[in-house]
A and B are shown apart, each in its own frame.
Chain A
Amino acid sequence: MTKAIIQVENLGKKYLIGHSRKEKYIALRDVLFKSAKQTKNMVLRPSKRGSSYKEDFWALQNISFEIEQGDRVGIIGRNGAGKSTLLKLLSRITEPTTGQFTLRGRVASLLEVGTGFHPELTGRENIFLNGAILGMSKTEISRKFDEIVSFAEVERFLDTPVKRYSSGMYVRLAFAVAAHVDTEILIVDEVLAVGDAAFQKKCLSRMGDLSNDGRTLLFVSHNMGVLRELVNQCILLEEGEIVSAGSVDETISKYLSSGRQINDLSIDLSDHRNRLAGMKRILRSVSVRNSEGEYQKDFSQLEKISVHIEYKSDEPDTFLAGAGFILYTAEGVRVGGYNTYMAFPPPHKIQKDGTIIFRILPKQLTPGTYLLTVSLGSHQGALEDKIEQCIDFTVYPADIYRTGYLLTKEDGVAVLSVEVCMAEEPDRRYVSKNNN
């Protein structure tokens, strides 16, 4: 009889969210101030105990599953669905609030490339340090040292401090160490988004080899192509709960077609509740698609995002001059927009019915969820139809700078294209990191 190597029962994780999400730690002053305030409230208004300014948030709830030895399991879900929390629980970085899990093997987790690398130390020193952080013993690292070095292709720079490494070398070295950790269970977060394509391929084949040796793999990715290639099972998380688990193709297609509405791949606009008052019903549908024209809701920062707007006027004498869209963040910040008035010189006129496709070019948006408002007009200043925030899509991180630096929501909304030149080396050419 074989027991599951990972057995998760009713796992849950609750976080307390303060009123300000940014400050996770507390200043003592706040605590003192708050308790003083509470005491005052208790004295003055005993009925109203100081209202708690914290809110429970269940990042994960009722998670149960089993994984057999040698399985390669992909975990998918939208941003904030609880994928990373699940990995953190299983790697024991944080403690569960409810439930339990059993691991029958050693775990190595790779949630970030190069955790614990120190820029001042040489490549050789960092291999030992990083190996130890990932749970390897010194003899184990020594034994695998040559293998790691040749995998990373950094032989010539072993005694150079890693702060002088190119970003590619850095990522290669970091992944090489992690890829040689000898544990029964390997947990990998979206780290393959960094590094060049050739190295990504190498990493994927290495992970494939590992699982052929009987290792169990847990893998989070937004990249469905990679998942289809690598894993043999999928778990779909939505708002902290498992909504589907099992075959890869089934779960992925479920994921792609899931959303807050039953079918939000193409939004029917003919009777939409976000239509502004007084507008004509001309807009018919809107969808976001990939460059092949397939419906898609999650895009890498390196992908084009196509916005398809379909419209049709029933009145024969309608005159339409242009169409456009406005982009908002999930928090409601207006990012910008584009319309046919910008694209073409006057006179402006578009057909009475048809489809307009806007392609948002890659490397402009930081990771996060965005909402689209679409509109049609008979003149630049005269709207005929407009529907507010009727479709959303998500952008997930990619190594757009090719330096391994992955942008997050905290970096802002727009991706800036910048050339940089170090002042100390005036003869150095300006380097454009973005548009290569």
Chain B
Amino acid sequence: MESEHYLRIKAGQTETQYWRDVWRYRELFYFLAWRDILVRYKQTFIGVAWALIRPFLTMVVFTIVFGRLANLPSESNVPYPVLVFAAILPWQFFASALSECSNSLISNSNLLSKVYFPRLVVPTSAVIVSFVDFLISGMILLGLMAWYNFVPSWRILALPFFVLVAFAAAIGSGLWLAALNVKYRDFRYVVPFIVQLGLYISPVGFSSNIVPQQWRLLYSLNPMVGVIDGFRWAILGRGTVLYWPGFSLSLILVGLILWSGVMYFRRMERTFADVI
């Protein structure tokens, strides 16, 4: 019994039990996510409806602006609203997860300065609310598919993989911003900017096929290009082709962002309580 809870903390020494601690605090992860979800749907009057209205209206506006006014082509006869919505889904998940994640430490600062737990629990659990929103707005996609008599192919089974990539992208960049936000509060202005700009430089309102071939690899430097293309490939099925060089590049970048995000976060988290 004694050896079970033996802990030695030495100045300047990296924590040896970090990942074991993260595992031990998995219930806190669950409870924080649960709190965020409860609070979110208790406080807002229309609650769940909010998670439906926002992506739906975005889809309508994008379909009109990009599909009708700009007359951009869809992919192999896929109805334009479905094309747009297959991208809005991961994009809104990424955008809201990124904001929640990067704000999470500041909004839980009272916890950080009063209780110990692996700090990684806070930003990662903050992402779960966005995932619930994602699942709810996924219902719109089902509705659209029924409306257009659109039957997905077997590829839809690969969707969870692309969801994981979206998670990795959101958490990776979220960790960076969360840690930076503690030290430099200016980063709270950076996040809305990233989200706003990102909406236009990611292929949300249009298909990434309209990007000229010679620029596509460069375009894939935006990791969300890979995620969105992956979503479209899985959901739209049939004629859609995945641009593999670009997708692999996005995937590598996402992996790099996640890895460096965790590293940076772990380096910074030792001083969070002192500066927050």
Query: Is the pairing of A and B real?
Result: yes
Binding site for B on A (CB under 8 A): 12, 15, 24-29, 31, 88-89, 91-107, 109, 111-112, 115-116, 118, 120-121, 125, 128-129, 132-135, 137-138, 184
B200 within 8 A of A: no
Known: A91-B115, A93-B114, A132-B28. A100 touches B8 (CB 8 A): yes
Interface size class of B (residues with CB under 8 A): 35 or more
From known contacts A25-B276, A105-B5, A138-B27, infer whether A98 and B114 are also in contact, taking CB-CB under 8 Å.
no
Task: Please give the residue numbers on chain B whose beta carbons come within 8 Å of chain A beta carbons, in ascending order.
Answer: 2, 5-11, 13, 25, 27-28, 30-32, 34-35, 38-39, 42-43, 108, 110-117, 182-187, 270-271, 273-276
With a cutoff of 8 Å between Cβ atoms, the chain A residues found around residue B27 in the complex are 132, 137-138
Cross-chain contact B31 with A128 (CB below 8 angstroms): yes
- Given A91-B115, A118-B39, do A104 and B6 touch, yes or no (CB 8 Å)? yes
Please judge, given known A-B contacts A121-B35, A133-B117, whether A15 and B274 are in contact too, CB under 8 Å: yes
| Complex contact B186–A28 (CB within 8 A) | yes
B114 touches A111 (CB 8 A): yes
Q: Which residues of B contact A103 (CB under 8 A)?
A: 5-9
From known contacts A121-B35, A129-B35, infer whether A95 and B116 are also in contact, taking CB-CB under 8 Å.
Answer: no
* Chain B binding surface, main DSSP class: helix
**Most chain B beta carbons < 10 A, residue from A88, A93, A121, A135:** A93
Shortest beta-carbon contacts, A-B, top 9: A100-B10, A132-B31, A92-B116, A28-B184, A28-B186, A115-B114, A96-B11, A94-B273, A103-B7
8 Å CB contact of A101 from B8, B32, B42, B275: B8
B115, A129: Cβ atoms closer than 8 Å: no
13 A–B contacts, CB within 8 A, in A order: A12-B11, A89-B9, A93-B113, A93-B114, A93-B273, A95-B270, A105-B5, A109-B116, A116-B111, A120-B39, A129-B34, A133-B31, A133-B111
> What chain A residues lie within 8 Å of B13 (beta carbons)?
100
User: CA of A104 to CA of B2 in the docked complex: distance in angstroms?
Assistant: 6
Task: Specify which chain B residues have a CB less than 8 angstroms from the CB of A15 in the assembled complex.
Answer: 274
Q: Is A25 a contact of B182 with CB atoms below 8 Å?
A: yes
Given contacts A27-B186, A102-B7, A103-B5, contact A88 B273 (CB under 8 A): yes
User: Chain A: which residue is nearest B40 at the CB level?
Assistant: A120
The chain B residue with its CB closest to the CB of A15 is B274
Neighbouring A residues of B34 by C-beta, 8 Å: 129
Inter-chain contact A184/B9, CB cutoff 8 Å? no
A25 touches B9 (CB 8 A): no
Q: Give the residue name and chain of the B residue nearest to A130 (CB).
A: B31
Residues of A within 8 A of B43 (CB): 120
Q: Which residues of chain A are near B9, meaning CB under 8 Å?
A: 89, 92, 95-96, 100-103
* Closest-CB distance, A14 to chain B (whole angstroms): 10
Contact A93 B11 (CB under 8 A): no
Nearest CB on A from B68, distance (A):
42
Residue on B nearest A100 in the bound complex, by CB: B10
Contacts of B39 on A, CB cut-off 8 Å?
118, 120-121
Q: Is the CB of B8 within 8 A of A93?
A: no
CB of B18 to closest CB in A, whole Å: 12
Check A129–B31 contact: CB distance below 8 A: yes
- CB-CB < 8 A to A94: which residues of B? 271, 273-274
The answer for the CA separation of A96 and B5 in the assembled complex, in Å, is 20
Which residue of B is nearest A137, CB measured? B27
A133 near B11: Cβ-Cβ < 8 Å = no
Shortest CB-to-CB span from B191 to chain A, Å, is 14
Nearest Cβ on chain A to B15's Cβ, whole angstroms: 9
Decide: B186 and A118 in contact? CB cutoff 8 A. no
Which residues from chain B contact A29 at a C-beta distance below 8 Å? Answer: 186
* A435 smallest CB distance to B (angstroms): 30
Name, among B7, B113, B115, B117, the residue most crowded by chain A CB atoms within 10 Å (CB to CB).
B115
Smallest beta-carbon distance B38→chain A, Å? 6
State in angstroms the CA–CA spacing of A400 and B7 once bound together. 39
- Tell whether, in the assembled complex, residue B31 and residue A98 are in contact, meaning their CB atoms are under 8 Å apart: no
Tell me if B110 and A116 are in contact (CB < 8 A): yes
B209 to chain A, nearest CB (A): 39
User: In the complex, A345 Cα to B252 Cα: how many Å?
Assistant: 86
Which residue of the partner chain B has the closest CB to A94? B273
In the bound complex, residues from chain B placing their C-beta under 8 Å from that of A118 are 35, 39
| Most B CB within 10 A of own CB, among A107, A115, A116, A138 | A116
Chain B residues lying within 8 Å of A104, measured Cβ to Cβ, are 2, 5-7
* Residue in B closest to A139 when the chains form the complex, CB atoms: B27
The residue in chain B whose Cβ has the minimal distance to the Cβ of A133 is B115
Chain A residues near B187 (CB-CB < 8 A): 28
Residues from chain A with a CB closer than 8 A to the CB of B184 are: 25-28, 31
Task: With CB as the reference atom, state the residue of chain B lying closest to A184.
Answer: B5
